[in-house]
């Protein structure tokens, strides 16, 4: 006698980012960029443009490419740790918080002055380093995947704080005085 067993699968199971195959990796890497595109579209409809850090006289699109290039790396790192028990899931949520901050960052800092922008960049860097440390304890390769994006965040926070420290009070008074 033959038996039939039915497997119930949702039509949307193909879009599960936690599946551990190539499609899950691609979805995990692409989803943060898709969320940024949606956020950018909503902001553009409301008349707001994101602000990207582009140092050393580089064109603005280079800063945007480096900033957005970190998102797929963070998504891939989250995919690498998500299936590794409770610690992996907790590390994955830290990385999700980092991705949310990275997506929101160019929109949040647009109206801020350079000192506040640098402090927000430093806060995001601290969250990122915490996420990287948690991911590294679960799966060290995930932390290595996050490293290029974290290096860019660290560089932008360092340069921003350096400029802000040189031109913010109390140093602005001494820097703006002309020779007598």
- Three-class SS of residue 168? coil
Alpha helices in the chain (DSSP H): 22-45, 60-82, 85-108, 114-138, 140-167, 171-176
- Single pTM value for the model: 0.80
Per-residue pLDDT of the chain (180 residues; tens, 9 = 90+): 567 666 656 655 555 556 667 788 888 899 999 999 999 999 989 988 887 767 677 787 888 888 889 999 999 999 999 889 899 999 999 999 999 999 999 888 888 887 888 889 999 999 999 999 999 999 999 999 999 999 999 998 898 888 777 766 665 555 555 555
Residue 12: HSE in the Cβ half-sphere, 13 Å Cα cutoff: 1
Cβ neighbour number for residue 178 with a 10 Å cutoff? 4
Residue pair 146/129 in contact (Cβ under 8 Å)? The answer is no
How far apart (Å, rounded) are the C-alpha atoms in residues 121 and 101? 10
Residue pair 98/153 in contact (Cβ under 8 Å)? The answer is no
Question: In angstroms, how far is CA 22 from the centroid of its own chain?
Answer: 22
pLDDT of residue 110: 84
- Three-class SS of residue 49? coil
How far apart (Å, rounded) are the C-alpha atoms in residues 164 and 162? 6
Residue keyed to tokens 């499609």: 23
DSSP 8-state assignment for residue 172: H
């Amino acid at each position: 006698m033959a038996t039939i067993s039915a497997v119930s699968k949702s039509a949307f199971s193909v879009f599960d980012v936690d599946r551990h195959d190539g499609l899950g990796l691609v979805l995990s890497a692409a989803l943060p960029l898709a969320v940024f595109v949606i956020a950018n579209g909503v902001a553009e409809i409301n008349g707001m443009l994101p602000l990207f850090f582009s140092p050393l006289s580089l064109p603005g699109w280079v800063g945007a490419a480096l900033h957005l290039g970190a998102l797929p790396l963070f998504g891939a790192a989250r995919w690498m740790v998500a299936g590794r028990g409770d610690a992996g899931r907790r590390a994955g949520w830290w990385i999700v918080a980092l991705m949310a901050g990275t997506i929101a960052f160019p929109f949040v800092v647009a109206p801020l002055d350079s000192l506040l922008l640098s402090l927000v960049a430093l806060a995001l860097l601290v969250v990122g380093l915490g996420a990287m440390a948690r991911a590294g304890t679960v799966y060290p390769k995930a932390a290595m995947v996050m490293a290029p994006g974290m290096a860019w965040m660290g560089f932008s926070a360092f340069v921003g704080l350096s400029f802000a420290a040189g031109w913010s009070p109390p140093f602005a008074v001494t820097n703006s005085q002309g020779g007598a």
